[in-house]
Amino acid sequence: MIKARTAKFQIGQVVRHRIFSFRGVIFDIDPEFNNTEEWWLSIPEEVRPNKDQPFYHLLAENAESEYVAYVSEQNLLPDDSGEPVRHSQVAEIFIKDKAGGYRPRNPSLN
């Protein structure tokens, strides 16, 4: 039986991947894995995350590109760099507050 946990990170928080060189802002959270079995099996078994943890949808970026990523909680760390996320969709979903954080434009959607 899969038991969902409380999410460690929140919508609007900037995070970075623990292993790979990318970061992003969280725009949605699944309390447990909610993607295809094909996607999950495409991850090499030695680094494949457990399904019974929160998974985060990120507006992600690396040095070369911007994209949407789906990442397990165990592979995320807070990004405290203070650098803005340059992803082109950030302004559509979020408002940057005075402290430099991101607030959803329409909080009722989340």
Report how far apart the first and last C-alpha atoms of the chain are (Å, whole number): 27
Q: Is residue 7 part of a domain?
A: no
Q: How far is it, in rounded angstroms, from Cα 63 to Cα 2?
A: 36
Q: State the pLDDT at residue 97.
A: 84
Q: State the pLDDT at residue 109.
A: 53
Over residues 84-106, the mean pLDDT reads 91
Q: State the pLDDT at residue 98.
A: 81
Q: How far is it, in rounded angstroms, from Cα 31 to Cα 54?
A: 4
Q: Is residue 8 part of a domain?
A: no
Question: Mean pLDDT over all residues of the chain?
Answer: 91
| pLDDT at residue 16 tops 80 | yes
Q: Is residue 6 part of a domain?
A: no
Q: Is residue 4 part of a domain?
A: no
Range of the domain at 69: 13-104
Task: Compute the C-alpha angle 82/88/92, nearest 5°.
Answer: 95
Q: Is residue 59 part of a domain?
A: yes
Q: How many domains does the chain have?
A: 1
Helix (H) or strand (E) holding 96: strand 94-96
96: nearest Cα among 84, 78, 79, 108? 84
Q: Is residue 2 part of a domain?
A: no
The percent of residues in the chain predicted with pLDDT above 70, rounded, is 92
